[in-house]
Amino acid sequence: MRTLLLSAALLSGIAWAQSPVDVQKVLQRDFQARGQATMDRVVQDGLQRVCTDSHDRPPSDLARQLEADQLKTIDFPPGSLIGDWKRGERIAQGGRGLTWNDKPGAPADGSCYNCHQLSPQEMSYGTIGPSLLRFGWMRGNGPEMQRYVYGKIYNAKAYNLCSQMPRLGHSGTLTPEQIKDLVGLLLDPESPVNKQ
Amino acid sequence: MTRFSATILVLGLAAIPAGAQDTKKEIQKYQQMIAEGSPVELFELEGETLWKKPQGPNNVSLEKCDLGQGPGVLKGAYARLPRYFKDADRVMDLETRLLHCMTTLQGRSRDEATKRVFGNENQPSEMEYLSAYIASQSRGVRLAAGNSHPKEKAAYELGKALFFYRAGAWDMSCASCHGEDNKRIRMQDLPVLYKPQAARPIMATWPAYRVSNSQFKTMQWRLNDCYRQMRFPEPKFASEATNALNTFLTVTAAGEPYRGPGTKR
Amino acid sequence: MAGPMKMRATATGGTTEVRVLMTHPMTTAQMKDQPLHFIQNVVVKQNGKTVIEAEISQAVSRNPVFSFRLKGGAKGDKIEVSWVDNKGESNTIETAVA
Amino acid sequence: MTRRSLLAFLGLLLARPLSVLAAWNEQAFGAKTAADALKGIGVSAPAPSKDIVIDAPQIAENGAVVPIEISSNVPGTTAIAVVIEKNPFPLAARFEFKEGALPFVKLNVKMGETSDVRVVAFAGGQQLTATREIKVTIGGCGG
């Protein structure tokens, strides 16, 4: 792993006046644990380090390898992955979870509308991620699509290593049940996302 | 061309961009109107009172505090912060410097002076009031944070590295939201803060009154709350890290005439 | 205790523009942890004569800001704005037209 | 007591604290529907008019502060009322413009949700009205 990281830094060709290691030390000195936001969060894992080093443009071989590692973290539930789109819509609207003033263990939300357009009725949507309007209508909702959407929400980095989307299942933000409800929001033909 | 993609093309060309354009225009109008009808001057008034109020064991006001332009000189002081201070041998932004003056001039303990740095709508903090007043004394002065002393240069570099450092429960860096042009969270436009053009109007209007919660917010708070939303632990108030980030952002915005304290959503 | 007010009155082309800021929580019945507390009456006077009387509700935003326009007006005219809230607290500010 | 001092004394009486003099239409402000609020301020079947100008953003990023500028071009306007139809208590404000004031006001209001904002102007025996829809959206991260 160490050589892998080193080569990533070299390949990216970005000269940092401060190495990420130095920055991590600063964060460990200048930040403090509060609530559920503990200090281990400032320590980068492998992909965070590679993405920081490469300005989110990791060498493709390395990216493929690390994406495969991330894919292994996803535990796909059996059966249909399409949950209740109505609950999904509420999860997509909210922005709570994992911050230092959120109650540990309390249900979190997906923060989906912060970055994506989904239901056409909601005009206050962000644009950091692509529009998901009519997502299921365009792509169908067969088992493969369900698996892709579930996996993408559970761990977006398995599909695009330096994606800005949080690993909502892997990080413990959302439960498998909540992720299925979001799959429902995206793929259920009755969901406003897919209605004309 | 399939029927589906034809439909998408039509939708894409006609309905959606027109709506988005109108939305953007109306949001701009909203922001302009809230700025015109802002109660921000009330915070400046209160801040002036606090600046002149004797406090602490030494029972003196902050009027002799040197914000970089000499003891008690307020005109243009905020626009030249953060900067290196020889007496403290470090780079300090406004709040860090005020804390320094509270401990050195007024003889207050750091614990007491930082007990409540961020207030709420019912009780704004001393730092917030003071920031409003002092920043208002730089209106029209071009931003010129320190960028020549070796420690200022080091702060800039550290701030830049922090800006792009991805970590936390959601793998975010500042650049996750402020790294690409023409993006927004919900309706909020996201300035690409490492680019001068985008950083200038933003840094020229902080600190600011936020209408969504009727609170006056400082730059230390802004950084603190970004890290909260990024699912990081909490940055310590007036730490080297927050001063470095503030230096990076303000140096990037250099040259913009200061026109705050601003009014934000 | 009532927080500060601020006012500016400027004469331009035959009208006087009055902009007044009031420090007030303006809490509503919907806020659970706070008692209902809001300004009910605002009065604007020009040289001692009442020119505007307003009744307002909890729907006015916290720290109210109003702009009014008065006919005529010359530099030095006295403008006075006062408010009273539902608890009987009040405040007044006076300024000369600039 | 001289005439002059009597006048001064009356003047003092008139300068009693505002709270004693001030009237506040409890019935209208306590009304929970726009119809009841309008009834409470004596409005019935106001006529739509283009002479009432409501300047406001069509979209408010936050309902806590929605800036609205109102002016009436109806000659002889003596009062203006603002009703936010979907607010829990729709009547937001009522302004009386006496000799010396122009029928103009700019203020910030709270809106619980997207709603029509109705303005009624009183001029002589006339009641005129205009509305404008303001959409209230969600800004920021919501966290």
pLDDT given for residue D62 in this prediction: 86
pLDDT for D19 beyond 90: no
Q: Which whole number is the average pLDDT over D43-64?
A: 94
The amino acid that residue A28 corresponds to is Q
Chain A touches chain C, with at least 3 Cβ pairs below 8 Å, answer no
What residues in A contact D138, CB-CB < 8 Å? 113, 124
pLDDT for D64 beyond 70: yes
Residue D15 banded pLDDT, cuts 50, 70, 90: very low
Write down the pTM of the prediction: 0.87
pLDDT for A119 beyond 80: yes
Which range is most confident: A84-88, B19-23, D7-11? A84-88
Q: What percent of chain B has pLDDT over 90?
A: 83
Identity of the residue in B45, B122, B211 whose CB atom sits nearest the CB atom of C6: B45
pLDDT for B70 beyond 80: yes
Which of A75-79, A176-180, B23-27 comes out lowest in average pLDDT? Answer: B23-27
What residues in D contact C90, CB-CB < 8 Å? 17-19
Cα–Cα distance for residue pair D74/D121, rounded to 1 Å: 8
Which of B66-70, D62-66, D115-119 comes out lowest in average pLDDT? Answer: D62-66
Judge: A124–D143 Cβ closer than 8 Å, yes or no.
no
**Interface subset of B 23-42, CB within 8 angstroms of C:** 37-39, 41-42
Residue B177 banded pLDDT, cuts 50, 70, 90: very high
Neighbours of B91 (CB within 10 A): 28
Q: Does D102 touch chain C if contact means CB atoms closer than 8 Å?
A: yes
Percentages helix, strand, coil for chain D, rounded to the nearest 5?
20, 40, 40
pLDDT for A6 beyond 60: no
E strand segments, chain C = 5-12, 15-22, 39-46, 49-56, 65-71, 78-85, 90-96
Q: Tell me how close the Cα of C82 comes to any Cα of chain D, in angstroms.
A: 8
pLDDT, chain B, mean: 92
Q: Does A123 touch chain B if contact means CB atoms closer than 8 Å?
A: yes
**Interface subset of D 48-67, CB within 8 angstroms of C:** 64-66
Q: What angle do CA D52, D56, D58 make, to 5 degrees?
A: 120
For A127-148, the pLDDT digits (tens) are: 999 999 999 999 999 999 999 9
pLDDT, chain A, mean: 92
Cα atoms in the Cβ-side hemisphere of radius 13 Å centred on C79? 31
pLDDT given for residue D1 in this prediction: 43
Judge: B211–C6 Cβ closer than 8 Å, yes or no.
no
User: What SS3 string covers chain B?
Assistant: CCHHHHHHHHHHHCHHHHHHHHHHHHHHHHHHHHHHCCCHHHHHHHHHHHHCCCECCCCECCCCCECCCCECCCCCCHHHCCEEECCCCEEECHHHHHHHHHHHCCCCCHHHHCCCCCCCCCCCCHHHHHHHHHHHCCCCCECCCCCCCHHHHHHHHHHHHHHCCCECCCCECHHHHHCCCCEEEECEEECCCCCHHHHHHHHCCCCEEECCCCEEECHHHHHHHHHHHCCCCEECCCCHHHHHHHHHHHHHCCCCECCCCEEEC
Identity of the residue in A18, A37, A125 whose CB atom sits nearest the CB atom of B232: A37
Residue B24 banded pLDDT, cuts 50, 70, 90: confident
Phi and psi torsions of D57, nearest 5°: -70, 145
- Chains with 3 or more CB pairs under 8 A to chain D: A, B, C
Run of H or E residues at A135: helix A135-139
Cα atoms in the Cβ-side hemisphere of radius 13 Å centred on B27? 20
Judge: C4–B37 Cβ closer than 8 Å, yes or no.
no
Q: Does B180 touch chain D if contact means CB atoms closer than 8 Å?
A: no
| Structure tokens that stand for D85 in this block | 């139809």
Residue A156 makes CB contacts below 8 A (sequence gap 6+) with A163, A165, A166, A167, A168
pLDDT given for residue A58 in this prediction: 96
Residue B15 makes CB contacts below 8 A (sequence gap 6+) with none
pLDDT given for residue C44 in this prediction: 98
pLDDT given for residue B165 in this prediction: 97
Higher pLDDT pick, A19 / B263? B263
pLDDT given for residue B25 in this prediction: 86
pLDDT for B260 beyond 60: yes
Total residue count of chain C as it appears in this document: 98
Cα–Cα distance for residue pair C11/C18, rounded to 1 Å: 9
For B127-147, the pLDDT digits (tens) are: 999 999 999 999 999 999 999
- With CA atoms as reference, report the closest residue to D107 among C50, B40, C19: C19
pLDDT for D118 beyond 90: yes
Q: Which whole number is the average pLDDT over A2-12?
A: 46
Q: Which residues, listed in sequence order, are joined to residue B235 by a DSSP beta bridge?
A: A31
Q: Which whole number is the average pLDDT over A56-72?
A: 97
| Structure tokens that stand for C18 in this block | 């009055």
Q: What angle do CA B134, B138, B141 make, to 5 degrees?
A: 165
pLDDT given for residue A20 in this prediction: 67
E strand segments, chain A = 31-32
Higher pLDDT pick, A39 / D125? A39
Largest CA distance in chain B: 80
Which residues of D fall below an 8 Å CB-CB distance to A?
Answer: 59, 135, 137-139, 141-143
Q: Which residues of B are catalytic?
A: 226
Residue A19 banded pLDDT, cuts 50, 70, 90: confident
Neighbours of D125 (CB within 10 A): 6
For B192-209, the pLDDT digits (tens) are: 999 999 999 999 999 999
pLDDT given for residue B41 in this prediction: 94
Cα–Cα distance for residue pair B200/B257, rounded to 1 Å: 9
pLDDT given for residue B188 in this prediction: 86
Q: Tell me how close the Cα of C27 comes to any Cα of chain B, in angstroms.
A: 10
Q: Which whole number is the average pLDDT over B69-82?
A: 98
pLDDT for B221 beyond 60: yes
pLDDT, chain D, mean: 87
Judge: C21–B122 Cβ closer than 8 Å, yes or no.
no
Q: Which whole number is the average pLDDT over D49-76?
A: 94
Q: Which whole number is the average pLDDT over C20-46?
A: 90
Residue B15 banded pLDDT, cuts 50, 70, 90: very low
Judge: B186–A126 Cβ closer than 8 Å, yes or no.
yes
pLDDT for B21 beyond 60: yes
